Amino acid sequence: MGNTIKHIITVFLIIINYSNSFSQDLVVYKKIDTTKLYLEVYSPKNVDATKTYPAMVFYFGGGWNGGNRNQFERQASYLSKRGLVCFLVDYRVKNKHNTSPFESLIDAKSAIRFIRKNASAFNIDKNKIVASGGSAGGHLASATALISDYNASTDDLSVSCIPNALVLFNPVIDNGPNGYGYERIGNAYSKFSPLHNIKKNAPPTLFLLGTKDHLVPVETAKLYKSKMEEFGNRCDLMLYKGEAHGFFNYKRSGKNNFDNYRKTLEATDNFLKSLGYLSKEPKIIIE
């Protein structure tokens, strides 16, 4: 980390060494009363302090009710070895903090602002930040890019929360009357639902979905892609035949799910290469 900003956040920093020989930083990015919210940072080995790296920010799924930031730890581990600085994000959820989906989005925006504001400390390029997530976490990732409302009063709003690219794993992007979460969102969906707030200059997007997803219909994903393209935005939709919600997870229903995990991670790798965020070589083995 850069020396200047490092001293500011050192009190919130815990270094954890893992057997795979690269370290992770656990950083508090936000405090609400007695609640601390963390970023778990996966950095490439042998970071060159004279260079900057693209960043990828992961939001876990769980219906804004529960979940754990560890959901995407394998993806973060792989992509950090490929040359990205990856962040696994805590945010407030109903079961743990008695909060609504709105607080979840507020926190998701705060996380990107914190990361971008401290870009030099993390050795990242603030103009190459990718937001990603699964299910409700996919909603949060897309909403940081598309939703104007729901900002923390303590955030520095001069720092943009809009990511430069999106990788969405079966995201619940329709929160309208026929979509996911409407019973909790209500008429606020018009300012909360990504599908209803697509606009020009939205970040290039990769949308990964199983055709048997019971929460995100294929028709909704196709409509999202169509609306994105109507505004001149890039949206790559990849459909996985016969796969259900959560198909991309390394473990699913307590069993290994390596094939789908590998396929979606390869798709992510290829998408990021197309943006110039990853080099074509070397290719790291997915494990």
Above 80 in pLDDT, residue 22?
no
| Nearest alpha carbon to residue 41 among 15, 5, 11 | 15
Residue with tokens 């690269």: 22
Task: Enumerate the domain spans of the chain.
Answer: 3-274
Which pLDDT value is given to residue 257? Answer: 84
Exposure class string for 127-144: b at 16+ Cβ within 10 A, else e: ebbbbbbbbbbbbbbbbb
Token representation of residue 169:
């794993």
Segment (H or E) for 214: none
Exposed / middle / buried, residue 48 (Cβ in 10 Å: 0-12, 13-18, 19+): exposed
pLDDT tens string 264-286: 999 999 999 999 999 987 677 88
Sign of the dihedral through C-alpha 72, 77, 78, 83: positive
Q: How many Å apart are CA 257 and CA 221, to the nearest integer?
A: 23
Q: How confident is the model at residue 181 (pLDDT cuts 50, 70, 90)?
A: very high
Exposed / middle / buried, residue 219 (Cβ in 10 Å: 0-12, 13-18, 19+): exposed
pLDDT tens string 231-245: 999 999 999 999 999
More confident residue, 45 or 29: 29
3-274: in CATH 3.40.50.1820? yes
